[in-house]
Structure 1
Amino acid sequence: MNAETSNTVDLPAVRRLEAVGFRAWPAASVQYDGSWQVRLTAGHPSLRLNCVVPLDPGDFRDAAIRLEKARKRFEAYGRPLIVRETPLAPPPLIAMLDGEGWQRFESVSVLSADLATIELPDTMDHLPSHDIGYFVDASLKVEEADLIRKPALAEILSAIKPPSGLFVIEDPGKGAIASVLCVQDNDLAGVMMLAVAQSERRRGLGIEILSSALRWARMRGARSAWLQVVTTNEAALALYGKLGFAEVYRYHYWSRDGQS
């Protein structure tokens, strides 16, 4: 039974993880409509950077009017309106979306782990870089992503305020083959953008680079780690489960046509 269906979701924990998540992955434009956060980023397709996030279960006032206002803002950015449903979303809003034919099209599990209980190597196999340009190039190569994202990704990483560690594993003949971003926000460490090159998987590189990132964060005073993973990514969920990560809550994306 997951945290969502067990009806035991810890709302203060959700609020805190949402807050550190916003700081770890900052949108270019953030506006508030009541307690709804409207996030938009013209140059990057990340759903977390382009969505409306209601943050108070009781804030349902004039929902239809506010959604239409948000839709026009998204339209100006050339994007469809996306609503991100966390346990903080007003239930009447979600019922309204469902009743009007909106569809959930992606679900994400937010996991956390106690860094004191994770077995990590005594030494760091990989040291963090602070060279954003180098990390962006490495990350795009590992993920085989479109190079057109480079300026926007560099802007996002440059906007992260908490201390960040940029980790890359390189092969002498192949270049970058694994990468991960770790954002240390006081006692919480956020793991972002973990990727292993398609040709290098099932070699333990994911655990290797993640262990270095977590050890770096623990040495800096982080006590817990968190990350987000799409619920259909069984390989990633198995990897994180081995390290002791457990689900805190889930969130879901909604759109009118069931896609981003």
Structure 2
Amino acid sequence: MATTGVDNLSEPPRAELIVPNLAIVRRLEAVGFRAWPAASIQYDGSWQIRLTAGHPSKRLNSVNPLDPSDHGDIEIRVERAARRFDAYDRPLVFRQSPLAPPQLEAFLDAHGWRRFDETIVMAGAIDRLDIDGGMDYLPVRDIGRYVDAAITVHGRDQSLKAGLAEVLSSIRPSSGLFVIEDDKTGPTATALCVHDNDMAGLFELATRADARRAGHGRDVIRAALRWARHRGAETAWLQVETANTAAVALYKGLGFGEVYRYAYRVKPGQ
């Protein structure tokens, strides 16, 4: 039997075939945009065009259609978006969630646009998630310290430091920057938790490659969500690529369930 996904975000997720509830998708998309803010946001109808010169994140540099009924003049609007991306020296990327018009998906298919990085958006009621074990960690207050730790843990290039710091400094809702560190080897896991009204979004979740399978990821998630729960958050949510099977299993084990999926599209050859 098909479901509407997590029909009420305070209800436990279910395992049947997911048919997304578009009202819930819209809410999660909105809190997601606030939690990971782009430097430039423009609209072409209901297509949100997000561009950020200082950081290459696809979520910060993509076209995000937000109304399934907004499908007029697709070819003209795609070309118009391409010119905006060219001005930022970015490849044109569409982020296709359940809010994207089917006609746009058909247009991209017909022109051979490649689909990649399918991502699952997961959610769960905080009081039903398994978050009460592990050590307590307080969020760090120094953005620079967190950025250094995140770059190390993710194995990213140091050139991204300024861009990541700019994104984190632009977040308007309350946010907790969590770092698990080892006295000898340095940072081992990081998480960004953004508390937005009754929602708590988890971002930048990572464990250093040589420190995995030791429970650090689970510990930093639990600490972040206990912090959010203390501040009044009732629902936790996160995003994970379908290819990251270990992370998907971890989140399911904590009690998260799938709400919807999205993927990115780029022109052939990009």
**Which range, TM-score by smaller chain?**
over 0.9
1:105–1:258 contact (8 Å) kept in structure 2: no
The offset of 1:76, in angstroms, is 1.3
CA distance in 1, matches of 2:120, 2:159: 28
Write out per-residue CA displacement over residues 161-194 of structure 1, whole angstroms, 9 at most, x where no aligned residue: 0000000011111111111000000000000001
Could you say which residue in structure 1 is the equivalent of 2:175?
A: 164
Q: What's the TM-score, normalizing by structure 1? A: 0.95
CA distance in 2, matches of 1:105, 1:118: 30
1:124–1:215 contact (8 Å) kept in structure 2: no
Could you say which residue in structure 2 is the equivalent of 1:27?
A: 38
Q: Secondary structure at the match of 1:178?
A: strand
Compared CA separation, residues 124 and 223, structure 1 to 2 (3 A): farther
CA distance in 1, matches of 2:92, 2:103: 18
Structure 1 residue 72 corresponds to structure 2 residue 83 = yes
CA distance in 1, matches of 2:19, 2:28: 16
The offset of 1:257, in angstroms, is 1.9
Could you say which residue in structure 2 is the equivalent of 1:174?
A: 185
Structure 1 residue 152 corresponds to structure 2 residue 163 = yes
Taking only the aligned residue pairs, the percentage that are identical comes to 56
Structure 1 residue 140 corresponds to structure 2 residue 165 = no
CA distance in 1, matches of 2:142, 2:31: 22
Write the mapping of 1:119-130 to structure 2, written as runs, cut at 5 A: 119-121=130-132, 125-130=136-141
Could you say which residue in structure 2 is the equivalent of 1:207?
A: 218
Q: What's the TM-score, normalizing by structure 2? A: 0.92
Could you say which residue in structure 2 is the equivalent of 1:240?
A: 251
Structure 1 residue 218 corresponds to structure 2 residue 229 = yes
CA distance in 2, matches of 1:7, 1:209: 28
CA distance in 1, matches of 2:182, 2:66: 43
Compared CA separation, residues 95 and 232, structure 1 to 2 (3 A): same
CA distance in 2, matches of 1:24, 1:55: 17
CA distance in 1, matches of 2:269, 2:36: 24
The offset of 1:121, in angstroms, is 2.4
CA distance in 2, matches of 1:110, 1:232: 13
CA distance in 1, matches of 2:207, 2:117: 22
The offset of 1:258, in angstroms, is 6.4
CA distance in 1, matches of 2:258, 2:269: 25
Aligned residues: 258
Q: Secondary structure at the match of 1:116?
A: helix
In structure 2, runs of 5+ residues without a counterpart are 6-15
Q: Which amino acid aligns with 2:76?
A: I
Structure 1 residue 50 corresponds to structure 2 residue 28 = no
The offset of 1:120, in angstroms, is 2.5
Structure 1 residue 106 corresponds to structure 2 residue 89 = no
Q: Secondary structure at the match of 1:194?
A: strand
